[in-house]
């Protein structure tokens, strides 16, 4: 079997597709995260961590991003990497805040397994959707802190996908702690304000593709 390349430059193939995948964080988010990291700020409480993540969320919305923020903190409560929803901005269906934060944390720490960097915590403004829930164990974080609930995201028009009812118990069973409702009201308000202000409910497919499943709005946090 042979492969025909469309072109070669300096001995390397020239791809005709996006062969390097990048999530672009807004400058404002980069500045806020850089300040937190360079000052070695310690976010000792769950509320402090969530306040920082909700600020990232607000900065992302101002930049045209989705109303979701996240961050990974190390065992000393210091910021390792931020993440915000860049689905629409980066034409990236998987660029949910948690995925972006986990990917950035891995590349920052230069490891595919964050468990090798101690007891790390993923903080997310909204309960993880089905996709992000799946990424939690793969990431190697030891704890998840959550702001608004699945129901708050759905109330704003977003869908969270199909998740097992016992997802919290399952995470606990594999040693990942979950803390919910941290600044829930503020986190939920960010979602409802975004929806009220006409923010795009991206990928808002309201009808099933022909022959596929029941009608459902499906987008993810």
- 169 Ramachandran zone, left/alpha/beta (phi>0; psi -120 to 50): alpha
First to last CA, the chain: 42
Q: Taking the CA of residue 173 as centre, how many other CA atoms within 13 Å lie in the half-sphere pointing to its CB? A: 5
When asked if residue 132 is in the footprint of Zn ion (CB under 5 A), the reply is: yes
Active site amino acids: 98
Q: Which residues of 24-48 are buried (b: 16+ CB within 10 A; e: fewer)?
A: ebbebbeebbeebeeeeeebeebeb
- Shortest Cβ distance from residue 9 to Zn ion (Å)? 37
Helix axes 184-196, 46-62, angle to 10 degrees: 10
Question: Contacting Zn ion (CB under 5 A), which of 89, 129, 136, 143?
Answer: 129
Indicate the residue among 45 and 139 with the shorter CB distance to Zn ion: 139
When asked if residue 153 is in the footprint of Zn ion (CB under 5 A), the reply is: no
Q: Which residues in the 84-123 window bind Zn ion by CB under 5 A?
A: 96
- How is residue 44 written in tokens? 């000792």
- Shortest Cβ distance from residue 97 to Zn ion (Å)? 7
Give the span between the Cα atoms of 140 and 35, in whole angstroms: 25
- Shortest Cβ distance from residue 218 to Zn ion (Å)? 12
Beta pairing, strands 121-126 & 69-73 = antiparallel
Question: Contacting Zn ion (CB under 5 A), which of 65, 66, 82, 220?
Answer: 220
Indicate the residue among 48 and 199 with the shorter CB distance to Zn ion: 199
- Shortest Cβ distance from residue 39 to Zn ion (Å)? 29
Indicate the residue among 39 and 216 with the shorter CB distance to Zn ion: 216
> Where does this chain touch Zn ion (CB under 5 A) — which range of 40-48, 104-112, 115-123, 126-134?
126-134
When asked if residue 199 is in the footprint of Zn ion (CB under 5 A), the reply is: no
Which residues of this chain interact with Zn ion, rule CB under 5 A?
96, 129, 131-132, 220-221
């Amino acid at each position: 079997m042979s492969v025909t390349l469309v072109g070669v430059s300096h001995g390397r193939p020239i791809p005709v597709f996006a062969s390097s995948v990048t999530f672009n964080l807004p400058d404002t988010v980069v500045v806020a995260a850089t300040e937190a990291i360079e000052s070695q700020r310690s976010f000792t409480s769950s509320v402090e961590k969530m306040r920082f993540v909700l600020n990232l969320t607000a900065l992302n919305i101002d930049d045209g991003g989705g109303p979701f923020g996240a961050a990974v903190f190390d065992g000393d409560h210091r910021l390792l990497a931020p993440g915000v929803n860049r689905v629409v901005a980066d034409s990236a269906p998987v660029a949910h805040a948690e995925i972006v934060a986990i990917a950035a944390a891995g590349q920052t720490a230069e490891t595919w397994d964050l468990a090798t960097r101690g007891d790390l915590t993923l903080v997310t403004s909204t309960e993880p959707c089905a996709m992000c829930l799946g990424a939690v164990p793969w990431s190697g974080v030891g704890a998840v802190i959550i702001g608004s609930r699945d129901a708050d995201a759905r109330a704003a028009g977003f869908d969270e996908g199909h998740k097992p009812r016992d997802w919290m118990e399952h995470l606990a069973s594999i040693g990942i702690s979950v803390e919910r409702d941290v600044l829930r009201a503020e986190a939920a308000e960010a979602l409802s304000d975004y929806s009220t202000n006409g923010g795009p409910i991206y990928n808002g497919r309201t009808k099933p593709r022909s022959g596929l499943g029941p009608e459902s709005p499906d987008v993810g946090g």
